[in-house]
Structure 1
Amino acid sequence: MTPETLKRLTALRRELHQSPEVSGQEQKTAERIAELIQNAGADLVLTGLGGHGVVAVFDSGIEGPGVGLRCELDALPIQEESDLPYTSRIPGKGHLCGHDGHMAMVVGVAEALGIARPQTGRVVLIFQPSEETGKGAAAVRSDPRFSDVAPDHVFSLHNLPGLDLGIVEICDGPANCASRGMRIVLTGKTSHAAAPQDGVSPAAALSKLMPALTKLGQGGPLDQNYALTTVTHASLGEQTFGVAPGRAELWVTLRTVTDTRMAELIAEAEALVAKTSQAEGVSSEVTYDDVFEACANHIDAVNILNQACVERNVPVRLVNEPQRFSEDFGQFGKNAKTAMFWLGSGSDHPQLHNPDYDFPDALIPIGTGVFLAVIRRILG
């Protein structure tokens, strides 16, 4: 990558950083990306996939496989805390996961393909919306227009704080945990605070469920039996001194390595909620949000990534444990050979979703180079 190209992509990354849009609201980001990809010379640009998704195709004109590269459009509903000259201009929103950097890399790939197409087949660049809520990948895949250009391989990356800057880690097999948000509503009957015996309070059920649900999944080794339940929010009644509560709400995140174990954990948690609420005389309702299925890498795609890193002289490690956090990238693996790799952001870099996180610009040429090497290995 030339210094001029790196300077331009860095400026783009910082431009995107200043104007973050959260899941489902990425309209302006998508418009900017579509403009850049069109200017790069894409043969086909599709917009509005799965919400605000953008897909671009660079076709060699010669029969061959399709190679997909996926990045994310969305930011987070978190207030950025920094004095950077390009800090977020949108109160309460920030690119605090590095999706701005991921987009800059894939735009860099588009610019390179605009200059030199692959020798065979086609490259499909996927700028996916709503990754943070777990809804975007499935929505893109379900769009009939995507099925017309769906690639045979799909690759992605995520920067990873805690890993030395520029180091790549790749996992063969399970790569990201399955997770989902479990929302429990407990309903009893309000009463005057002077006569709580005339109502039905969900306080006892709430206080029993918090430790009991936590006990269901206490982490441990990241194997097929791994399960972690985390209480993230609880509320009881209204903010008043005159009313004994009649409603409580409890939010819990369920996390497992496999989808099979997730199904078991869901059944255990729902049975516990039903038993506890019945014993305390309140009704219960369970709903789910932020649902992420487990993400697994295909061995063929892993080998291609490993070879691409070696070609680019990027230090690479093969590991056998998935990341605890979740990704909806696994959706693309239902119809393609997929693999995601981790690109180190620095051993002491602020964690993803921290208010002071910022994507390291030094990663732009590394990620772009690995992606281009992957394309060359498959398509020439």
Structure 2
Amino acid sequence: MFLTQEELSHITAFRRELHRYPEVSGEEVETARRVQEALLLAKPDRIVSNLGGHGVAAVYDGAIPGPTVLIRCELDGLPIEEISNEEYRSTIPGKGHLCGHDGHMSIVMAVATALGQKRPNKGRVILLFQPAEENGAGAAAVLADPEFATLKPDMALSLHNLPGMPLGHVLLREGPVNCASRGMKIVLSGKTSHASCPEDGVAPTFALASLLGGLTALGSVAPVGPDFALVTVTHARLGEPAFGISPGRAEIWATLRTLTDERMAGLVQAAEMLAKSEADAAGLGIEITYEDVFRQCFNSPEAVDVLRRALDDEGVSHRSDGRLLPMKGSEDFGLFRTVAPSAMFFLGSGETHPQLHNPDYDFPEALIPVGAGVFLRAISNILG
């Protein structure tokens, strides 16, 4: 083991501390502070704070020039109430680390601990604790930050734990691994009137009803391949909760999901055309906005080769096929491929483990040395 039992105990305690105090996307002030305090003990050559928001990056320099390898994890939790009897359960009402980002941070902190004792022979390692992954804003904000130009990697690597896979086993494949998605918000504006005289107003009732089914019908039942598309209506509202008013406003929120960015462009166009057609037919104003925008996550072949060799060297069981990949869920790590070859591997958290974003999910701490070992082996194989 690359960490002593005492060091591993400290990393586990760090994970549980993070778990007690989750913060959602864009609010990770205390999480970033805890990360920076822990990094000081791991002796990086430089710490960059407030990167793309509350992001933190630790820089470890090799003895001679060489490539830069970036390892990325996530800071944010979820706005979900945790159900747990553990002593370290969330203390923040309505918020929890129910996707395992506390575990991912702990894996990367274990890498930092090892690098603090032995630097790479050449090049640089950047350990990035990225903000705001859950809403899709964090990676874009980090890449847009002028400070990132000083950190620009030659390769970017990451992981995500994956329930449904045997504990400690890995799924790794080239090509698409996570879907593109975006939240579409449609606001229909008409004119209120007295409920006894709806003809005096312009109500969005029938347009909303039509869109509930019409948007959903734009999706398909095809498997997750190039033609895959899914539209999930997540929220709708009509008028005010009153009996005396014929409504003059409606909202509908939907999540659009495709495997590829190209297919997403076509789905967006179709959804907008449908919404505008319904609005025009009913004499309504319309406003369309987007939130939680995720690009397709695509594993670069050269980065997959690096991870595959590291897995083999570490003796970690892995495969490339399976029903779990590509995932329908989204992941903003895909943006790092715009600046360097990148790849994410999926580390099994147990075949019967609670699913991600479930209120009873908890990250398996046995994965900390496994994930850190793979990253350290990849770093060693590239930088010596």
TM-score, normalisation: structure 2: 0.97
Question: Shift of the alpha carbon at 1:148?
Answer: 0.8
Residue in 2 aligned with 1:371? 375
Picking from 333, 338, 347, the partner of 1:334 is 338
CA distance in 2, matches of 1:107, 1:314: 20
CA distance in 1, matches of 2:221, 2:56: 37
Residue in 1 aligned with 2:199? 197
CA distance in 1, matches of 2:40, 2:70: 17
Aligned amino acid, residue 83 of structure 1 = N
How many residue pairs get aligned? The number is 380
Most deviating of 244-253 and 220-229: 220-229
Q: C-alpha root-mean-square deviation of aligned residues, in Å? A: 1.0
CA distance in 2, matches of 1:71, 1:322: 20
CA distance in 1, matches of 2:311, 2:224: 26
Q: Deviations over 1:148-174 (max 9, x none)?
A: 121101100000111111110012111
Aligned amino acid, residue 245 of structure 1 = P
CA distance in 2, matches of 1:229, 1:40: 45
Picking from 314, 317, 320, the partner of 1:318 is 320
Question: Shift of the alpha carbon at 1:6?
Answer: 2.1
Aligned amino acid, residue 328 of structure 2 = R
Aligned amino acid, residue 315 of structure 2 = N
The reply to whether residue 349 of structure 1 matches residue 353 of structure 2 is: yes
CA distance in 2, matches of 1:151, 1:4: 32
Q: Is contact 2:63–2:120 with CA below 8 Å preserved after alignment?
A: no
CA distance in 1, matches of 2:226, 2:189: 35
Question: Shift of the alpha carbon at 1:219?
Answer: 4.0
Aligned amino acid, residue 104 of structure 2 = H
Residue in 1 aligned with 2:63? 61
CA distance in 1, matches of 2:148, 2:221: 37
Structure 2 segments unaligned to the other structure (5+ residues) = none
What aligned pairs does 1:49-128 form with structure 2 within 5 A after superposition? Answer: 49-128=51-130
CA distance in 1, matches of 2:310, 2:6: 24
* Identity rate, percent: 57
Q: Is contact 1:171–1:322 with CA below 8 Å preserved after alignment?
A: no
CA distance in 2, matches of 1:285, 1:301: 41
Picking from 159, 168, 171, the partner of 2:170 is 168
TM-score, normalisation: structure 1: 0.98
Residue in 1 aligned with 2:144? 142
C-alpha change, 1:347 and 1:151, in structure 2 (3 Å) is same
Picking from 20, 23, 26, the partner of 1:24 is 26
C-alpha change, 1:304 and 1:87, in structure 2 (3 Å) is same
Q: Deviations over 1:124-153 (max 9, x none)?
A: 000000000101011111111111121101
Aligned amino acid, residue 373 of structure 2 = G
Question: Shift of the alpha carbon at 1:111?
Answer: 0.4
Q: Deviations over 1:20-48 (max 9, x none)?
A: 01111101110111121122110010000
Question: Shift of the alpha carbon at 1:199?
Answer: 1.1
CA distance in 1, matches of 2:259, 2:124: 33
SS of match in other structure, 1:69: strand
Q: Is contact 1:222–1:257 with CA below 8 Å preserved after alignment?
A: yes
Question: Shift of the alpha carbon at 1:5?
Answer: 2.3
CA distance in 2, matches of 1:118, 1:254: 43
The reply to whether residue 217 of structure 1 matches residue 219 of structure 2 is: yes
Residue in 2 aligned with 1:252? 254
Question: Shift of the alpha carbon at 1:254?
Answer: 0.4
Structure 1 segments unaligned to the other structure (5+ residues) = none
- The 4+ residue runs of structure 1 with deviation greater than 3 A are none
CA distance in 2, matches of 1:59, 1:366: 24
The reply to whether residue 38 of structure 1 matches residue 40 of structure 2 is: yes
